[in-house]
Amino acid sequence: MEPGDTASQPQGGAHDLSCRACVVGGGPAGMMLGLLLARAGIDVIVLEKHADFLRDFRGDTIHPSTLEALHDLGFLDEFLRLPHQEAQELAAVIGDTRVPIADFSHLPTHAKFIAFMPQWDFLNFLARKAAAYPTFRLLMSTEADGLITEGGRIAGVRAKTKDGGLMIRADLTFGADGRHSLVRAEAGFAPIEIGAPMDVLWFKLSRRADDPNETFGRLESGQMLVLINRGEHWQCGYVIAKGSADALKAEGIEALRARIKALAPFMSDRLAELASVDDARLLSVAIDRLPLWHRPGLLCIGDCAHAMSPVGGVGINLAIQDAIAAANLLSVPLLSQPRPPDDCLARVQARREFPAKATQKMQAFIQSRVISQVLSGKKLTPPLFLRLFIIWPLLRRLPARLIGLGVRPERVRSPQA
Ligand SMILES: Cc1cc2nc3c(=O)[nH]c(=O)nc-3n(C[C@H](O)[C@H](O)[C@H](O)COP(=O)(O)OP(=O)(O)OC[C@H]3O[C@@H](n4cnc5c(N)ncnc54)[C@H](O)[C@@H]3O)c2cc1C
């Protein structure tokens, strides 16, 4: 034992486990990584603190690059048989002007659209596929509550289950436990905070046959509403100034309904479905990034390494891309060496840090050039760079690439056992 070692702390129970790779968090990043490592024949345990994947809305967008990864895995056709909606184009209505922003129909991918599907259906699908590999173990209702440290190296996690404590020893541990990550805090990592001027209130309203058929954002002076067409309902995101949710909720439900009616008059016949202000769930928007994603024995990916703004709806996509890159770069070392050398972990950060940084920069640009302007209540006209999308359709392919594929799209190259 060395100073700081935690392995012999009396946290373990009768069911202590060991594995090659332990992934903390069964979100998009953790489930995709677990699946890919198991597919390569690596003994992997994924821990998820919840009992199932059924949670509040937290993003339903499956982007073309994620669909392409499913194609690489041979799962795309089966996946697209699950109920979903498809959007080939994204648009914004700014004042009276409709601006088509992204046209996915020319992407060099098999699926040239964003698929909207409840995140739990997506995660259940990944869990089902991963379960087909004998080296995959998914422990639900298992919450990591500490890291095991041995000789200055992370050697696994401590966790709590309904039956007591558990020690899971691993040659490599992954933090994929999201934006409020315990792993990154326990590892001593502090994120760089990048501000966001807004928060979002998310709620659902039913959709009628004669409603608009697209997914779009409605921007009026002082207000903004994102409407995601989910077939039978609209997933609505009402964008508000950062920290203003309590004041807005204190105005009461009639005031909130009036704001939504002003932005989407076609919804006035169903605003009673919003029974109380508490039906609108607050997403406190954060953008942050870890300067260092790894230390010996540990790598952070997804929101744990970089929480994204909802601009462009790219958080799930980036999390999946991190998982693919990690599996591509770490599967062979995990298969061939007792402990994957730490420079392999640095290579994952080196590959994925630029896409995360560049995407956050673009999100910060949209936040300051468009969203802050809207929320400030100034008279609204589309900025020049957006007006160009109206007159030059070819330009719409650029945001389609950035949103649909991301800055550095990853293809599945990890081995299959
Ligand atoms: C309201 C809302 C709306 C969003 N909308 C979109 C959108 O439209 N499009 C988009 O791309 N992104 C969206 N996002 C962001 C998106 O959800 C995240 O970027 C994405 O889910 C990140 O994936 P992840 O796997 O890194 O982390 P997460 O999805 O956060 O997954 C982390 C997982 O770890 C589990 N966990 C946490 N702590 C522990 C622990 N100690 N032990 C075990 N398990 C633990 C959690 O339960 C969770 O399942 C939205 C987020 C929110 C909150």
Provide the token pair at 361.
């920069």
Per the CB < 8 A criterion, the answer to whether 122 and 105 are in contact is no
Q: Is the dihedral of CA 281, 282, 287, 288 positive or negative?
A: negative
Question: Does residue 276 share a domain with residue 127?
Answer: no
Question: Does residue 164 share a domain with residue 276?
Answer: no
Which of helix, strand or coil describes residue 127? helix
Calculate the CA 147 to chain-centre distance. 24
Question: Does residue 99 share a domain with residue 215?
Answer: no
Give the count of domains, the chain. Answer: 2
Last residue of a domain, one of 283, 311, 345: 283
Tens of pLDDT, residues 75-110: 999 999 999 999 999 888 887 788 888 999 999 999
Q: Domain limits at 154? A: 17-194+286-404
Cα of 315 from ligand 1 centre, angstroms: 8
Question: Does residue 204 share a domain with residue 160?
Answer: no
Q: Where are the alpha helices (DSSP H) in 231-381?
A: 245-250, 253-263, 315-336, 342-366, 372-375
Per the CB < 8 A criterion, the answer to whether 411 and 117 are in contact is no
pLDDT at residue 17 above 90?
yes
Tens of pLDDT, residues 122-149: 999 999 999 999 999 999 999 999 999 9
Calculate the CA 161 to chain-centre distance. 25
Question: Does residue 325 share a domain with residue 398?
Answer: yes
Tens of pLDDT, residues 18-60: 999 999 999 999 999 999 999 999 999 999 999 999 877 678 8
State the average pLDDT over residues 211-239. 89
Residue 11 in domain: no
User: Which CA distances in Å does 274 have to 83, 261, 279, 337?
Assistant: 25, 12, 6, 56
Provide the whole-model pTM: 0.91
Cα of 28 from ligand 1 centre, angstroms: 7
Question: Does residue 273 share a domain with residue 291?
Answer: no
Question: Does residue 228 share a domain with residue 183?
Answer: no
Mean residue pLDDT of the chain comes to: 91
Question: Does residue 344 share a domain with residue 390?
Answer: yes
Question: Does residue 81 share a domain with residue 30?
Answer: yes
Q: What's the pLDDT band for 4 if we cut at 50, 70, 90?
A: low
**Looking at residue 221, what is its pLDDT?**
77
- CATH number for the domain spanning 374: value is 3.50.50.60
**Looking at residue 288, what is its pLDDT?**
95
Ligand 1 site, residue 297, Cβ cutoff 6 A: no
Residue 34 in domain: yes
Cα of 348 from ligand 1 centre, angstroms: 20
Mutation probe of ligand 1 site: the residue of 36, 55, 58, 114 with most atoms within 8 A of C-beta? 58
What strand order describes the sheet that includes 85-87?
61-62, 114-116, 85-87
**Looking at residue 106, what is its pLDDT?**
93
Q: What's the pLDDT band for 6 if we cut at 50, 70, 90?
A: low
Instruction: Lowest mean pLDDT of 181-195, 240-254, 355-369, 374-388, name the range.
Output: 374-388
Tens of pLDDT, residues 293-337: 999 999 999 999 999 988 888 999 999 999 999 999 999 999 998
Mutation probe of ligand 1 site: the residue of 202, 316, 360 with most atoms within 8 A of C-beta? 316
**Looking at residue 8, what is its pLDDT?**
43
Atom 27 (ligand 1): residue with closest C-alpha? 178
Question: Does residue 76 share a domain with residue 37?
Answer: yes
